[in-house]
Each structure stands twice: as structure tokens, then as C-alpha cells.
Amino acid sequence: MIELKGVTRRFGDAVAVDNIDLTIETGEVCVLVGSSGCGKSTTLRMINRLLPRTSGEILVDGEDINKADPEALRLNMGYAIQSTGLFPHWTVARNIGVVPDLLKWPTHKRDERVSELLTLLGLDPATDAIKYPHQLSGGQAQRVGVARALAGDPNILLMDEPFGALDAITRENLQQEMLRIQRQLSKTTVFVTHDIDEALKLATRIAVMDQGRIIQHDTPEAILRRPASAFVENLIGKGDRGLKLLALRTVGDVMERYPRPRQSDPLTEGLKETDSLRAALSVMVWQNSDQLPVLSEAGDAVGTVKREQLLQGGV
């Protein structure tokens, strides 16, 4: 658990972070959103003490972080940043293995961990591990950055726009991977973004920041339904709020499940359980159908979903 109590950070006379209170429960993904310069990165960097705070208290599992040894604190906090900061003189494998090395893991354990992470993030342990950062694409480099943050098996993850500066498709893929990893590992995560869709997708709870303050701290659904101010309302976009709400749920949440899987007609397009209701609705509108089968990975129909069920799911 991470607790920020009345935390303030000034740069000279300018207040970057203004007396914020924020509690991040163990295993939760807290996403900080807000426009550029509102103090998201500053908040994050105070948590691993890359920046000292001007006043207030930051506790990790009840302990003031200023009482801990800063290196030991950081070894237990994975850190990934937008510009990746990969070490240009080390291979991908050595970059990912840096924290295990600092923790003095035995070599074989470190090597296993490195190839496990490469696989987890969709990189090839055989070919990509021996590359140097300058030989990677932007998306690959950000994956390596995330893998490096996970490598030491930290309890806490701090991620500062780790998928920024990527094209929509790669970004979407990495977000899916992030969700999958989070389901497997449930790390206490603080994730910074200025993309509200990314926030809605990944967050357990979202903290909306503006000019160094937290305007609202709540679940994605609550943020969408009850924005605390005009600023939050603008941030989430009034127009497609309903669709965003639909995007929070998956087909699996509302479908009617068959007692046992059935053969499906190979010609009808089906949905997957993990598809969002928003995507499902889009398919229905496009196909002009009231009902669609839900298919398993193997292609069997495991259930069905009706248009009314979809629309009720958003309510």
C-alpha cells in the first residue's frame, strides 16, 4: 500500500504538486491522468525518491520512505519511463537483468527470468535478447523498458507513460499485455498517462490531476458517471461517455452461457469473451444483427449475446 499525505513539491516558487492525498491499495492499479505539466511525473518520482518532497508524508506499507535506504526502496519498485532510458551499451538481456544483477540473483535464475519476461512481453528470447537498444523499434524498446521494470519481481510498479509515443495498434497491444500481466501478477501500480482511454482501460482507480492537485480519485465507472467537475467532464469527453462506459465491460460479463460448447457456423462472425461491449456493439451495428455467438479460442460457440443485454450492460 502506498499512502501520500499532504504531499507538496515546489520548484523554486512554482508549485508542481500541491498538498495531495492519495492512497493506493495493494494490488491496485492507480492511474494518474491530467494535462501536460499538471504534476503527474513529479508525483511518481517522489514515490521512488528520485525527487525529494518539499513537505508531507509518503508511506509504503506504513513506513515512511525517507526512513528507508533509497537504493533498497527503488530495487523494490519497478520503474519504466516513456523515453525508456535503456542502457545503450548493454544488450536487451543485460538491460532486463539489471535489477536481478543488483539484487545478486544467481546467474541461472536471472537468465531464466530474462527469457520468461521476453516471452511475456512478446519478444523473442533467442533473437531479441542479444540486440542492442539502438537495434530495436520504438515499440520493442518500450516493451524492454516494461520488462526491465518487472524483472526484479518488485512489489510496486511505477510507470510514467510507458506506452506513450507509440502508434495506436502497438499501444493497444501493450495495454492488453499490461492487463494480462496485471491479472497474473497483481502488482501495486502507479501508472501515469495523459490518455483518458488508456486510463479507463487499465485503472482500478483513476486520480485526475490538474495544476498539481487531485480533482477526483475514483473508479473508472464512477469517474464516467459522476465527474466531479467541468474539468473532469471535459477530460472524459461528454460526447461518447456512454460508449466509454460500454468499453469498461466485456462480453463475458453479460453473455448467456451455453451448458456446453456447440459447433458454430463458420460463416457467422462471432465475438470473444474478452471483447469489450463497445466493440461488440460495433460489430452488431455493422452486421445489423440482434444477437451474436460468443466463440472460444478454439472456435466453438460457448454462448450468445443479445443486443438488449449489451445495452443494459452499460447501465
Ligand X SMILES: Nc1ncnc2c1ncn2[C@@H]1O[C@H](COP(=O)(O)OP(=O)(O)OP(=O)(O)O)[C@@H](O)[C@H]1O
Contacts with ligand X by CB under 6 A lie at 11, 16, 34, 36-42, 194
Q: With respect to ligand X, which residue has the nearer C-beta, 50 or 283?
A: 50
Collapsing DSSP to helix, strand or coil, 202 comes out as helix
**Cα gap 291→148, rounded to integer Å:** 44
Distance set, CA 256 to CA 262, 294, 295, 315 (Å): 13, 9, 12, 18
Q: From the list ligand X, Mg ion, another protein, none, which binds 125 (C-beta under 5 to 8 Å, kind-based)?
A: none
Burial class (CB in 10 A: 0-12, 13-18, 19+), 163: buried
Would the CA dihedral through 160, 142, 198, 164 be positive or negative?
positive
Under 8 Å between Cβ of 149 and 79:
yes
- Examine residue 59 and tell whether it contacts another protein (CB under 8 A): no
71 near another protein (CB under 8 A): yes
**Burial class of 153 by CB neighbour count within 10 A (0 to 12, 13 to 18, 19+):** middle
Site size toward another protein (CB under 8 A) is: 25
Smallest separation (angstroms) from ligand X to the CB of 37: 4
Q: Please tell me whether residue 88 binds another protein under the rule CB under 8 A.
A: yes
Phi and psi at 2, nearest 5°, equal -115, 130
> Which segment (96-104, 174-182, 240-248, 300-308) binds another protein by CB under 8 A?
96-104
Q: What, of ligand X, Mg ion, another protein, none, does residue 83 touch, CB below 5 to 8 Å by kind?
A: another protein
Neighbours of 268 (CB within 10 A): 12
74 binds another protein per the rule CB under 8 A: yes
Binding to another protein by residue 43, rule CB under 8 A? no
In order, the DSSP letters of 18-62 are: EEEEEEE-TT-EEEEE-STTSSHHHHHHHHTTSS--SEEEEEETT
Contact 91, 130 (CB under 8 A): yes
Which region among 25-33, 98-106, 120-128, 171-179 touches another protein (by CB under 8 A)? Answer: 98-106
Q: Which of 1, 15, 68, 75 binds another protein (CB under 8 A)?
A: 75
- The percent of the chain in helix, strand and coil, each rounded to the nearest 5, is 40, 25, 35
- Residues contacting residue 169 through CB under 8 Å, at least 6 positions apart: none
Least gap, CB of 242 to ligand X (angstroms): 27
Among 26, 55, 66, 83, binds another protein (CB under 8 A): 83
Cell of 165: 509515443
Segment lying near another protein (by CB under 8 A), choices 94-102, 177-185, 199-207, 306-314: 94-102
Residues 125 to 144 in contact with another protein, rule: CB under 8 A: 132
Q: How far apart are CA 125 and CA 115, in angstroms?
A: 5
Pick the piece of the chain touching another protein (CB under 8 A) from 55-63, 75-83, 183-191, 261-269: 75-83
Nearer to Mg ion, 209 or 251 (CB): 209
Residue 85, contacted partner among Mg ion, ligand X, another protein, none, CB below 5-8 A by kind: another protein
Minimum CB separation of residue 107 from another protein in Å reads 17
- Taking the least distance from each CB to Mg ion, the nearer of 123 and 158 is 158
Calpha distance 184→171 (Å, rounded)? 20
Counting contacts by CB under 5 A, is residue 41 touching Mg ion?
Answer: yes
Rule CB under 8 A: which residues touch another protein? 48, 50, 71-75, 79, 81, 83-89, 91, 98-99, 102, 132, 145, 148, 152, 158
Rule CB under 5 A: which residues touch Mg ion? 41
